[in-house]
Amino acid sequence: MKIVIVGDGKVGNALARQLSSENHDITMIDKNAARLNDSVDRLDIMGVVGNGASIPVLQEADTGHCDVLIAAASLDEANLLSCVCGRHLGVPRTIARVRNPEYNDQLYEMRETMGLSMMINPERATAQEIIRVIAFPAAVHIDTFAMGRVELVEYGIDSDSPLVGVSLLNLPHLFKNKVLICAVERSGEVTIPKGDFTLLAGDRIHITGTPKEISGFLDHLEGEKQHIRSIMILGGGRIAFYLCQMLGTKYQIKIIEKDYDRCEEICDRFPHVVVIHANGSDINLLESEGLLEIDAFIALSGMDEENLVTAMVANQRDVPKVITKITRNDYQSILENIHDITVVNPKMSAVNHIVSYVRSLQNSHGLDHVITIYKLVNGKAEADEFLAGAKTHFLGRPFSTLSLKPNMLVGAIIREDKVIIPTGNDCILEGDHVVVVSGSRSLHSLNDIFGELPS
């Protein structure tokens, strides 16, 4: 597909890199010639210097003939204008990054009047991601498929958990929730479990299911003991703002922010939130503000280093749930081995959202194609969401009549609005979104997972 990206920032650049490696034709527009030249040198893309909200510049990038226009420049208004101009030139699909919370209540109206296909707000998406983690504090990491209809949750089994010693065959008898354990990590090794697999203390399991079923399942396991009530947030930026808005008054929230004006703004908007005007990198201050008593600590300051250090301190002081924002990809590897800290990355969330959207547009001539890819357990396993096409093999054949290749598992099938946690009687139909968990290699197609039963 031909894709025009306006704005060569972190998001624009990451998008160009990913989409161009997936063989799309990318043209990038940016005002900064030096930065753009650098990108053109590094990536196999074309660059146009200029204002991406002006029609002549868009025409120079041949926007009229492109399939998708993605506006990811720093200014919301400029992004919206780019998309409107793109629509005028005849672009079928436009995506705008809009992140100002003040526009939050008019998203629907803007989408309708401006004919946008998608609006992406990295900070809001991140806030939603954090909310999901807060809702299941026992889960370390949550990935979503099919616009959040199916979740994949990572959960560690303690020695006093009711799951210890349970064989997977017995699981449906013990718990009424429809969830599927699709990968187990035990002493560094990953297994895609079969029915005779028995869970042990110390295992980290990956579960798929609808958000409701999973939350029921986890509630059942954890009882009420782990519900989060009090939250400390470091940094009162946009994500914190959305969090306050979404969490409402059910939670006790304390925000630590260095900028006084910003403190007043938050006080004004959210009277129930306690706002501390202080430098959050001061550990003593965090402790005196109750770091040892709170249920969750969320580091959302503008500096990765500060977030990283405070999150590690909070984890060390046994705060039950620690979440930190890290923007630079190279810092994430530091936290790889500390399982209990949840990392969020607004820029990459936005990129992944957009890439999934673009993949779902692809016309692959009846073949299936991948929509989302998540790496699990440091890349030792992978969860992929495929869109089944007309030429996918074994359409309509119940799974019990097929043989599944080893180390592989169908985690969920999403048919229109329905989510199916598959059993032997289910099958794949054209247009289904299929979540596949694979323990060994990368999958390229749904046809790689099944074979005929040996007769």
Point out which residues bind another protein (CB under 8 A).
2, 17, 20-21, 23, 25-27, 33, 40-47
| H-helix or E-strand spanning residue 42 | helix 33-42
Sequence-ordered alpha helix ranges (H) in 223-338: 238-247, 260-269, 283-288, 304-316, 329-332
Lookup: tokens for 248: 């409402």
Lookup: tokens for 383: 């969860």
Q: From the CB of 228, what's the least distance to another protein, in Å?
A: 41
Which CB sits closer to another protein, 22 or 219? 22
Q: Where are the beta strands (DSSP E) in 93-234?
A: 93-97, 118-120, 139-145, 150-156, 180-186, 189-191, 204-209, 230-234
Q: DSSP characters for 245-268?
A: HHHGGGSEEEEEES-HHHHHHHHH
Which CB sits closer to another protein, 65 or 212? 65
Closest CA to 138 of 219, 208, 194, 76: 219
Which CB sits closer to another protein, 48 or 296? 48
Q: From the CB of 369, what's the least distance to another protein, in Å?
A: 16
Lookup: tokens for 45: 């893309």
Task: Give the whole-angstrom CA distance, residue 342 versus residue 245.
Answer: 21
Task: Give the whole-angstrom CA distance, residue 336 versus residue 330.
Answer: 11
Which CB sits closer to another protein, 24 or 353? 24
Which CB sits closer to another protein, 46 or 420? 46
Q: From the CB of 8, what's the least distance to another protein, in Å?
A: 14
Which CB sits closer to another protein, 348 or 409? 348
How many angstroms from the chain centroid is the CA of residue 283?
30
Task: Give the whole-angstrom CA distance, residue 139 versus residue 219.
Answer: 11
Task: Give the whole-angstrom CA distance, residue 221 versus residue 41.
Answer: 53
In terms of C-beta density within 10 A (0-12 exposed, 13-18 middle, 19 or more buried), how is residue 252 classed?
middle
Which CB sits closer to another protein, 62 or 265? 62
Q: From the CB of 329, what's the least distance to another protein, in Å?
A: 16
Which CB sits closer to another protein, 47 or 122? 47
Closest CA to 180 of 441, 383, 405, 448: 383
Q: From the CB of 24, what's the least distance to another protein, in Å?
A: 8
Q: From the CB of 69, what's the least distance to another protein, in Å?
A: 14
Q: From the CB of 149, what's the least distance to another protein, in Å?
A: 31
Which CB sits closer to another protein, 23 or 337? 23
Q: From the CB of 414, what's the least distance to another protein, in Å?
A: 30
53: DSSP letter: T
At residue 188, φ and ψ (nearest 5 deg) are 85, -10
Q: From the CB of 21, what's the least distance to another protein, in Å?
A: 4
